[in-house]
């Protein structure tokens, strides 16, 4: 079984899970529908991305027990909609506006930088130092963190941050460090590293 299967299943089910929560808890508030629109569409975009430019790291084979473990861990991301909808919480209009803005920027950074990485490496393997990666070595992770932070903001509870915090420190950070070690094999990496930051874009060089 490929690692992407439990990941894609989770992404694809999110839209349905949020709808079920809304019906179970009879919550048809603007906040609930906004959450459905943002997180549900993100899951669908992820599935489309996997068809157009799949990420090689999710193509590796894993055991069925490990795949189940991955799906269960990913379910931490459903804490945010559960808290928001079950507790009938209502974030302020300012928070909702900020969440939409953060989500939009995050989607652009995440999906566009992944596209650049995929198509650049497809036709010209090597170190990518321009475009989205000119100032940040992991701009795609920044975009994904912004997306999930927007979901957590909408939850209107600290509980909504559990999923993003767990993945940021348990997966994002280790993967970024691992990536740096892998890219260190390129002679030009040290010069590139001095002009960029690991996560946030380096605004001044």
Q: How far apart are CA 98 and CA 92, in angstroms?
A: 10
Nearest to 57 by CA among 106, 142, 118: 118
The 10 Å Cβ neighbour count of residue 103 is 25
Which residue's entry shows tokens 């507790």?
87
Burial 7-21 (b: 16+ CB within 10 A, else e): bbebbebbbebbeeb
Task: Give pLDDT tens digits for 154-168.
Answer: 999 999 999 999 999
The 10 Å Cβ neighbour count of residue 123 is 6
The 10 Å Cβ neighbour count of residue 54 is 15
Q: How far apart are CA 68 and CA 66, in angstroms?
A: 5
Q: What is the pLDDT along the chain (205 residues), one digit of tens a residue?
A: 899 999 999 999 999 999 999 999 999 999 999 999 999 999 999 999 999 999 998 999 999 999 999 999 999 999 999 999 999 999 999 999 999 999 999 999 999 999 999 999 999 999 999 999 999 999 999 999 999 999 999 999 999 999 999 999 999 999 999 999 999 999 999 999 999 999 999 988 7
Task: Give pLDDT tens digits for 127-148.
Answer: 999 999 999 999 999 999 999 9
CA atoms within a 13 Å half-sphere pointing along the CA-CB vector of 117: 20
């Amino acid at each position: 079984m490929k690692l992407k299967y439990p990941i894609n299943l989770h992404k694809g089910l999110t839209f349905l899970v949020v709808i079920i929560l809304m019906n179970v808890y009879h919550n048809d508030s603007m906040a609930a529908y906004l959450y459905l629109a943002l997180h549900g569409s993100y899951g669908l975009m992820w599935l489309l991305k996997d068809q157009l430019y799949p990420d090689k790291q999710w193509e590796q084979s894993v055991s069925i027990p490990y795949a189940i473990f991955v799906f269960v861990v990913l379910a931490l991301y459903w804490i945010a909609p559960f808290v928001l909808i079950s507790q009938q919480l209502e974030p302020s209009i300012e928070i909702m506006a900020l969440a939409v803005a953060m989500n939009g920027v995050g989607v652009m950074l995440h999906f566009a930088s992944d596209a650049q990485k995929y198509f650049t490496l497809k036709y010209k393997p090597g170190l990518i130092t321009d475009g989205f990666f000119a100032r940040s070595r992991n701009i795609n992770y920044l975009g994904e963190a912004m997306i999930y932070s927007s979901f957590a903001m909408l939850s209107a509870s600290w509980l909504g941050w559990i999923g993003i915090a767990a993945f940021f420190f348990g997966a994002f950070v280790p993967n970024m460090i691992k990536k740096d070690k892998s890219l260190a094999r390129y002679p030009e990496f040290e010069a590139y590293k001095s002009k960029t930051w690991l996560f946030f874009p380096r605004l001044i060089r």
